[in-house]
Structure 1
Amino acid sequence: MAERDAVERAVARALERLDLAAKADLLAGRDMWALRAMPGIGLGELVMSDGPIGVRGRRWTAVDPSVAMPSPTALAAGWDPGLARRVGRLLAQEARRKGVHLLLAPTVNLHRSPLGGRHFEAYSEDPLLTGEIGTAYVRGVQDGGVGVTVKHFVANDAESERFTVNNTVGPRALRELYLAPFEAIVRRARPWGVMAAYNAVNGVPMTEHAELLRGVLREEWGFDGVVVSDWFGARSTAGAIRGGLDLAMPGPVTVYGEALAAAVRAGEVDERLVDEAAARVLRLAARAGLLAGAPARPAAPAEVDGAALAREVAVRGCVLLRNAPRHGRPVLPIDPYGGGVALIGAAARHARVLGGGSAQVFPDHVVPPLDGLRAALPRRTPLVYATGADPSDELAPAGAGFVLRAVALDSAGRELGGEPLPSGQVQWMGDLPEGVAYDEVVAVEVRGEFVPAVAGAHRFGTRGNGGFRLEVGGRVLFDGVQADTHEDPFEAFFGRPLERGAVELAKGEPVEVALRYTLPPELAELPLQAVGFSLLHGEPEQDPDELLAEAVAVAAAAETAVVVVATTERVESEGFDRADLRLPGRQDELVARVAAVNPRTVVVVNAGAPVEMPWREEVAAVLLAWFPGQEAGAALADVLLGAEEPGGRLPTTWPASLTDAPVRQVAPHDGELAYDEGPSIGYRAWAARSGPAPAYPFGHGLGYTSWEYTAIEVRPSAADGVLATVRVEVRNTGGRAGREVVQLYLTPADGDRRLAGFAAVAAGPGESAEAVIEVPARAAQWWDEEAGGWRPVPGPLTVDAARSSAAPLLTAPLPASDAP
């Protein structure tokens, strides 16, 4: 309490020393990632950074690498809030190292539809699981003295027309589903920030939505942090400040700043609203230790080993979907001292470790599955690799074999400054290399050499908007302008990857490479300072039929075949939604042909969201690895070879085919997307209808042992907000130690089951363990649209202890909820 009082006194002192212009400037970003410092009142510069799987820092560049954790879907698949809190503490450590005070994460929107393009960046289809993981993540980050910005508030569950779409959501669905994770996090973790989404809800843009920002978020839930716009999301000066938006990002061109001061002077805006928003921004600065007179920033917690934690999260998130017996025992785990292993798939050599868009970071290393298995298998166990099928026909940024440097040039060709380029991507947003002034930059040259690992016709290309001149070994492959259009500004800025030509190169012989990029005039009109383009490369093409035949041959000769299938950045990324759930390229054919010659075929799915698996009953095992982060291969080897158990459970339902999914509409019609399904999404929707069952239900996941559920006990609770405490006893009936996630589902008289709690337990062979789970009162309530409030669910209630939403094992009656 004393600390909070000290913060408020410091805020009041600083605020009274600011005039209108300064207060308005305080609410507008100084640049892409920072707020303006005001030394006269003792205010330091506050820096923000994108997340959620790493901390990018002010510079989105591989020059300053970041720890890359597994995707949020993988973290949620662990069903472990304690692990999520540890991830948050690591990210606070990374933020402090990079001079960041506010992390733009976590994303707690829901998996309304498997077609959502940013599905991988959110946790779950269930609001309770999302709220539990999100609360722990926020606590972890803020344990380290770094703030969070919980996003995207609210109903931002798809990417199509995301800047302008009006999502029409009924009050019950809004309360029970989409607002619920935000409410849990705000009430229990006290986040420093919330991000207002691009979209409108029921006709009002979220950056101007007074009913939700002021009414629900602040007045009802007691949120005292800042509300920041999604980048470029604020469009109305008066509308935003009246609606409750505190910060309009990025700067320096925003609807706040001078525009806000002018609106106050013209009588369009009450200055009291500016004072309130400025006080909240100053409070944020005080919490970050950036305001004179406020308590110092909390000390950094104990150092966290980022690589070790990334590996642990990847292991914990692996979900074993299928593990059929062959010759009397399940195929997984693989005996490392058994016969040879055939590792197949382009993603086994070049794993996709994170999703596309603003969630991307640049790790200092990535362990692909091929390297991970090679390191883990005994030397005498044969391991043979074959590509089989490549999911992408696009060139990737120049990587292995390239030594590059990017240099900024002015109109006279003078070098302004530059930096090494670990990959072929130039992404300068906000801060540029030392000595480079954005207004002087006319062109950027990427120079260096490439040493091919294989001989043949190497392919080169470009990505971006502007003028390009590409030379390889003195040969000009392209000299012209590339202009890409896309309805989403993020996608439009980065452009499409385009192949420009091929050059015959000898293995091991260096060749000079040069790419000159000329900034297009339209960049000067953008409200930010940014340069983004890429030098692309691809190894010599191989005949697809020959690749498939080679994979079949090595699979037939091996004892076990492991096929890694994956999505691509064209399938799962920010800026667009998915058109289907099919694996790209000929990967389905690859799996089917390998399974036909090797009964011990294991498929590893490297995707952030559901994909169709028409071959799933034909293979021996299916392991879901999600986007597994920088330690992908090491974690996969741990699980495949049995050093660790795949302890994950599905945080979202996986349909057998898209046509089975309850919600498939993500594209707006005439600018409007109707959430006509109401509160019936995910497993609740699957249970409420007749028709095909999903391929794998919510909560599903096997391990390397077996469990028996032996007893359940329910005791009413007098604790605030808790309906009952449920004790579930389980026994490990298998031959090795394991981890079980005990899930509780509440079922009212109308049959509308919903997750009410969960806990993980561990036990050795033959041992028993007890899960103790508190059932929140809210789990037994519904939102009464007519009365505008929470009401107890009518009728008798039962609680099921289950292994998934479709596998109840023990049932007991539950006391009714009387709490509002």
Structure 2
Amino acid sequence: MAVNFDIESVLTKLTVADKVKLLSGLGWWNTEPIPRAGVPSIKLSDGPNGIRGSYFFNGTPSSCFPCSTGLGSSFDVELARRVGEALGDEARAKGVHVLLAPTVNTQRSPLGGRGFESFAEDPHLNGTIAAAYINGLQSKGISATIKHFVANDQEYQRFSISSEVSERALREIYLKPFQIAIKNANPWAVMSAYNRVNGLHVSEDKRLLDDVLRKEWGFKGMIMSDWIGVYSTAESIKAGLDLEMPGPSVMRGRALERALAAEKVFVRDLDVRVRKVLGLVKKGIESGVPFDVGEGFVDTPEQRQILREAARDAIVLLKNDKKLLPLSNQYKKIAVIGPNAAIAMTSGGGSARLLSTYATSPLEGIQAAAKEIGAEVTYTIGATTHKYLHLLNPYIHLSSGGPGALMEFWNDMPSKDFMSTTPDLPAPLSDPTWTTTTKSTDCFLMDNIDEKVNYVCWIKYSTKFVPNEDGDWEFSLNVAGRANLFFDNKLLIDLSTNPEQGDSFFGIGTVDLRAVAPALKAGQDYNLEIRLENAEFAERGSPFKSWGGIRIGGFRKIEPEVELKHAVEIASDADVVVLVVGLNHDLESEGFDRPHMDLPGLTDTLVSEIFKANPNTIVVNQTGTPVTMPWISEASTLVQAFFGGNELGNALADILFGKVNPSGKLPLTFPQRLEDSPAYPSYGDKGQEHGKILYNEGIFVGYRSYEIRKLAPLFPFGFGLSYTTFKYSDLKTSSISEEGKFSVTFTITNTGHINGREIAQVYISDTQASLPRPVKELKAFTKVTLAPGEGKSVTLDLDKEALGFYDDRAAQWIAEKGTFTVHVAASSSDLRLEGSIELRKTLTWIGL
């Protein structure tokens, strides 16, 4: 492919039909090619914490990095850049030209289903980490797509909800992280949001897409829709939306041809949009990433090292009152307990989910580290908390002996009793149209299916199940379609008789049904088969074109009280307990918001009972966003782990055993209860008013809200402990220049006995403003590495953006003359130094 791709020259070769074609996608992950004009098809891929590649079904493994709130907790710009570079390498291995990331939507509420996908509740931290991530990614020639522009902050009614937000809050809180990233990193693409803002869908909002993004901020790149996020033809074209995704087109294509005939749009309008699409194509060509190649992955020592570093820095030490941490060789018997201990919860759900190249669980990481100090590790789950039973992937194999299952597809019903619910399996079947194998019991058949298979089809999934424990086993099934599950040739679960709709498969699947297979023997083969037909699913008009879906889970049936008692016994016999609790990708995911802030099931009961059994208990909470902790006063030791990607288990062990000193700090305020959160009660299904969500908190989001209300959180924004201590001193501030530039200088000293890294935060207060302002706002931060006894002088440069606010009446930014307070802090609630600066002349500006 020639690198000298001239956009204007190519444009002259395109017919009107070509131009129409270029403004919508080719399938799920590609743009349309025009070979005659030398326009290739560039490839796009999810997501924020990894490169999935082209396939949901039987996809290529990928490196999974920590979720964005984990990366945000690092406060480490250099680390974010290196993660972006590593993602760029992975994209090249998969032939991907455009990554659909990063996400910078502000977390209004702890309940947000995709809250874990954004870096922080604070726009400065959110935008700054995003900019570094983008710079790293694009240095490898891979386009970043910053998303979802804008105010896409909940999953409830996400295609239609209207975010009713004041202009000032929109500018200062929700647009600001996009603005910072565009100013400091120049992403090559922006993704528009599903939702409306103040009544108008963003994908057809000219003021946001053209007036603000392009004209005010000078954005030069391409704007694409979120997937199925275009709801108009002429309006979206004229508003500035360049590319409708995915294909085949719904709102463009023939609809656009008709709009041209009616002169609702003109060819000149298409030319403006096509130039932007060609601009991204040009970036793809210049990247050197090959076209139409097979997908690979990166698994090198260097990649594993950055995965481990990122996972370490995604961990925040919240309590260490008894100095249990770091664990020393005095602890010879370590009990590991909890629902998140034995399975690696690498990421949240939805578009962030991918097939990891490998994954270490907390239990595996702790076992390896304990072996080095000669300690014994015992384990039990303690309580089950899964929304869906765990996948059966480790326990299935083909009849031929290899891992996985056989999937057979028919375009016509293979026998008249194929969907029979009689006890015995039906009669022999006709030859299938196509067969394949899979290693997973979670199959969303969105893609990677042979083209000869019709969308309306019949599917058989068959495998051998081998339990690893004796006892009764509980199985679960949810599908996109109608299905029956047969176990050992007997009907176990019926989802073919009027199945109730649920929220599986992005809300298009059935409810999850469970049934018990009694008295199974460990190591014995059992036949497991699912028969599915998807005609009703296809006819229902799913927004996702697919062949259906199957998800099978299973777990040895546990009596909650018996297991809880067993966990208490193990804890009582240990020198120290590591209790790993939290959420998972079934509970925090795209597609739905959390119904509450509580940990699931009997988790809180488990925590309290383990505290009674052994006061030397370390709680590790693994969630992407805040949860309630009713037992917090009993906990002496608490670690927040987030979703840590491939290296979660090793990284956690590094922190617990003191190989690495924790340095993360919270990018989100943890409230004591949901009612304390700024968005309460105007959030989600219970907060909507006739399809509107009122952003009543205005600019007072996150810590800004807690401070203005003088409301103590459970843990404040920017908070995190270390195994050493730090002293702040010698604050100096420069005078403010005519352009509004100034600097803040101070010294940080490690006053402890081990190496450590400290995140210093600079907040600015404006108590003389003509409009209400937050008590203080984060405007700069740095991460400093210090040896014991070492001190370093740090200088941070700031500008008028650190002083200003948005005056919605004047429609401009303003920094009013007067005195401002400068706080240097270890967290938003731990202010170490204070100074003042004076702005002698009011400054106003528009745009960047």
TM-score, structure 1 length as denominator? 0.94
Deviation at residue 130 of structure 1 after TM alignment: 0.4
1:374 aligns with 2:340: no
Q: CA offsets, 1:68-122, max 9 Å, x none?
A: 1111000000001111111111111111111211111111001111121211111
Is the deviation greater in 520-529 or in 479-488? 479-488
Deviation at residue 640 of structure 1 after TM alignment: 0.5
User: Which one of the candidate residues 302, 307, 315 is aligned to 1:305?
Assistant: 302
Deviation at residue 477 of structure 1 after TM alignment: 1.6
Is the deviation greater in 439-448 or in 113-122? 439-448
1:612 aligns with 2:628: yes
Deviation at residue 818 of structure 1 after TM alignment: 3.2
Is the deviation greater in 568-577 or in 638-647? 568-577
**Cα 1:100–1:173, aligned 2, differ >3 Å: closer, same or farther?**
same
The letter for the 2-side match of 1:705 is: T
Deviation at residue 460 of structure 1 after TM alignment: 2.2
Deviation at residue 298 of structure 1 after TM alignment: 11
Distance of 1:297 and 1:787 partners within structure 2: 47
- In structure 2, what is the equivalent of residue 693 of structure 1? 712
Is the deviation greater in 54-63 or in 406-415? 406-415
Distance of 1:752 and 1:567 partners within structure 2: 33
Distance of 1:734 and 1:600 partners within structure 2: 24
Judge conservation of contact 1:63–1:421 (CA < 8 Å) in 2. no
- In structure 2, what is the equivalent of residue 669 of structure 1? 689
The letter for the 1-side match of 2:689 is: H
Distance of 2:65 and 2:548 partners within structure 1: 24
User: Which one of the candidate residues 193, 197, 210 is aligned to 1:197?
Assistant: 193
Listed as ranges, the gaps of 5+ residues in structure 2 are 292-296, 398-404, 415-429, 769-773
Distance of 2:63 and 2:344 partners within structure 1: 16
Judge conservation of contact 2:103–2:118 (CA < 8 Å) in 1. yes
- In structure 2, what is the equivalent of residue 68 of structure 1? 64
Distance of 2:721 and 2:571 partners within structure 1: 25
- In structure 2, what is the equivalent of residue 12 of structure 1? 8
Q: CA RMSD in A?
A: 2.3
1:745 aligns with 2:770: no
Deviation at residue 561 of structure 1 after TM alignment: 1.1
Is the deviation greater in 86-95 or in 332-341? 332-341
**Cα 1:295–1:355, aligned 2, differ >3 Å: closer, same or farther?**
closer
- In structure 2, what is the equivalent of residue 352 of structure 1? 345
Deviation at residue 481 of structure 1 after TM alignment: 1.7
Q: CA offsets, 1:391-445, max 9 Å, x none?
A: 126323322111223232221544343433221011232x424x44342661222
Distance of 1:503 and 1:260 partners within structure 2: 59
1:812 aligns with 2:835: yes
Counterpart secondary structure, 1:726: strand
Distance of 1:527 and 1:14 partners within structure 2: 33
Q: CA offsets, 1:725-772, max 9 Å, x none?
A: 212201111110100001000011156310010000011111112222
- In structure 1, what is the equivalent of residue 790 of structure 2? 767
Distance of 1:17 and 1:47 partners within structure 2: 23
**Cα 1:95–1:597, aligned 2, differ >3 Å: closer, same or farther?**
same
**Cα 1:453–1:170, aligned 2, differ >3 Å: closer, same or farther?**
same
Judge conservation of contact 1:565–1:587 (CA < 8 Å) in 2. yes
User: Which one of the candidate residues 155, 160, 164 is aligned to 2:156?
Assistant: 160
User: Which one of the candidate residues 776, 792, 797 is aligned to 2:799?
Assistant: 776
Deviation at residue 267 of structure 1 after TM alignment: 1.0
1:495 aligns with 2:518: no
**Cα 1:145–1:564, aligned 2, differ >3 Å: closer, same or farther?**
same
Judge conservation of contact 2:534–2:548 (CA < 8 Å) in 1. no
- In structure 1, what is the equivalent of residue 381 of structure 2? 387
Deviation at residue 218 of structure 1 after TM alignment: 0.6
The letter for the 2-side match of 1:491 is: F
Deviation at residue 687 of structure 1 after TM alignment: 0.8
Is the deviation greater in 660-669 or in 339-348? 660-669
The letter for the 1-side match of 2:653 is: A
Within 5 Å, which residues of 2 pair with 1:61-460?
61-289=57-285, 305-325=302-322, 330-378=323-371, 380-392=374-386, 394-403=388-397, 404-411=405-412, 412=414, 413-429=430-446, 431-433=447-449, 435-439=450-454, 442-460=457-475
1:797 aligns with 2:820: yes
The letter for the 1-side match of 2:697 is: E
Give the aligned length: 802
- In structure 1, what is the equivalent of residue 702 of structure 2? 682
Judge conservation of contact 2:53–2:59 (CA < 8 Å) in 1. no
- In structure 2, what is the equivalent of residue 3 of structure 1? none
The letter for the 1-side match of 2:380 is: A
The letter for the 2-side match of 1:646 is: P
Counterpart secondary structure, 1:358: helix
- In structure 2, what is the equivalent of residue 517 of structure 1? 532
Is the deviation greater in 622-631 or in 391-400? 391-400
- In structure 2, what is the equivalent of residue 473 of structure 1? 488
Judge conservation of contact 2:746–2:795 (CA < 8 Å) in 1. yes
Is the deviation greater in 503-512 or in 356-365? 503-512
The letter for the 2-side match of 1:406 is: M
Is the deviation greater in 213-222 or in 544-553? 544-553
User: Which one of the candidate residues 599, 602, 610 is aligned to 2:615?
Assistant: 599
- In structure 1, what is the equivalent of residue 419 of structure 2? none
Q: CA offsets, 1:151-209, max 9 Å, x none?
A: 10001111111110111111111111111111111122111111110111111110000
**Cα 1:758–1:545, aligned 2, differ >3 Å: closer, same or farther?**
same
Deviation at residue 351 of structure 1 after TM alignment: 3.4
Judge conservation of contact 1:252–1:527 (CA < 8 Å) in 2. no
Distance of 1:477 and 1:531 partners within structure 2: 23
Q: CA offsets, 1:626-654, max 9 Å, x none?
A: 11112111111111000011211000111
Listed as ranges, the gaps of 5+ residues in structure 1 are 1-5
The letter for the 1-side match of 2:8 is: A
Judge conservation of contact 1:432–1:438 (CA < 8 Å) in 2. no
**Cα 1:118–1:550, aligned 2, differ >3 Å: closer, same or farther?**
same
User: Which one of the candidate residues 47, 50, 71 is aligned to 2:46?
Assistant: 50
**Cα 1:419–1:306, aligned 2, differ >3 Å: closer, same or farther?**
farther
Deviation at residue 571 of structure 1 after TM alignment: 3.1
Q: CA offsets, 1:568-602, max 9 Å, x none?
A: 44532112222221111111111111112322111
